A and B are shown apart, each in its own frame.
Chain A
């Protein structure tokens, strides 16, 4: 059955909106969690300003475990948790919960890498200046890593766009859902192409703006 394009554009617009909401909300929440975790993973490691190996080891293990589970499985596995949080296991809101659980640890690792790139000498200089650990994190480490953090968040956002496409499996809606429902299950190649092209444009746009912002912030 051929698609009626005059009404279909409305569906596509809706789906795009859903994707943006899913990605936006989960990005916001997972960025907060990820940046926090990433900072803790850096400052509690051996020899760092707030060395705490038990905490480091536990968090490190949790992040590794969550990072090993494929998103599609994670999404199903945490349905009880999702239901607990948003009251339902289907729909856009229900998709956001696993997206956060998926992207949080991912961002934590990216943030950790960005912060570890900073010359340890700079941290030493901060200590020698008499900076508190809090000041070292927020006045020294984060500003120094800022442009690299923007690139990390860009990468994470694109990962979220990809993962959100799979959220169709729990009826999450969005462009990915559309591509699967019409393009894949109904063999409508045109729809598939349109949605995939839209996804490409979205990803390209995100990456380019991430690059531009990061370059503006980077002094090198």
Chain B
């Protein structure tokens, strides 16, 4: 659906050159909710804007439905843009227009008939849960409501793609969840492909199926959300994952562990899918001569699959610990030693 091919974007300001995007290639399939995560300045925003050509790539191609955006004439581009909705961090609503007129704007612009507009906008108002608010002005709405208007406006031209530019970053956690729910619903009901850029990993966890991690203009890691959460390969990805799983051991605990005289090792056990239901720890302590102490535990859901993350301490002699770990490895869980000084 959307394909980035060696996309590079360079901004020039005087003598300085800033490489916002550096040879980025990846593909987003139809019907996916694809998340791009990165710290500010990583190039996410430029990447997103290359899709509807608000930013023109310096080199490389962005293919939307097989068409290179940069090859389109201005007229074709405008037509194509109507097929790509966009919502923004700061909503970018027209302050002088009512909610109804805001949502209707893209339809007015393409010269739609009044009766068609009225019907369309009313159904969108209902879809985003703002039926009572059509006559209000944006300044009378809360942040979450404004974003709902933004979403309804983006959907008014029945696009196949929705671009979300940090769409929840200006919202509180509760409102964020409700907006994410709405995006999920849009994806399911209208089969719209969604590309989200964000610096919040919980956004990725809650609704995305695939994720790309960006740093310094490059995609440094990509894969299914499940893969990246269970086995982050890069330091940056790992840090993003811990920001939502909070699987770092607190310092106080590390101190206690360090001062323990008995032989022990600390492991992270990642359960995925069916293995989450297994009584693994009690089996270990029965079968082997080791004591098990749970230091941290967390079970969450990734794309409707349970995902468990435990940090345990195994106390006993080295050989028994090794056997226990080998056993655990047999039952479809991932076990990795946590080095205590890791931060």
Q: Interface of A with B (CB < 8 Å)? A: 119, 121-122, 124-125, 127-132, 135, 139-140, 143-144, 146-147, 217-220
Contacts and interface: CB of A to CB of B under 8 A. Distances in A.
| Residue in A125, A140, A219, A220 whose Cβ sees the most chain B Cβ within 10 Å | A125
Contacts of A128: 52, 54, 81, 84-86, 163
A147 B268 CA distance: 61
B139 A219 contact: yes
Give the residue among A127, A139, A143 with the most B Cβ atoms within 10 A: A127
Interface of B: 52, 54, 77-82, 84-86, 88, 90, 92-97, 105-106, 108-110, 137-139, 153, 157, 163
A128 B95 CA distance: 18
A146 B95 CA distance: 11
Given A128-B52, A128-B163, A219-B138, 13 more contacts: A119-B90, A121-B90, A121-B92, A122-B92, A124-B88, A125-B86, A125-B93, A128-B81, A129-B82, A147-B96, A217-B96, A218-B96, A219-B137
Binding site secondary structure of chain A? helix
Contacts of A119: 90, 92
Contacts of B110: 130
Nearest to B83: A130
Contacts of A132: 78
A125 B84 CA distance: 12
B329 to A, nearest CB: 50
A127 B96 contact: no
A193 to B, nearest CB: 43
Nearest to A143: B96
A217 B97 CA distance: 10
A35 to B, nearest CB: 17
16 contacts: A119-B90, A125-B92, A127-B81, A128-B85, A128-B86, A129-B106, A130-B78, A130-B82, A130-B106, A130-B109, A130-B157, A132-B78, A139-B105, A144-B94, A144-B95, A146-B96
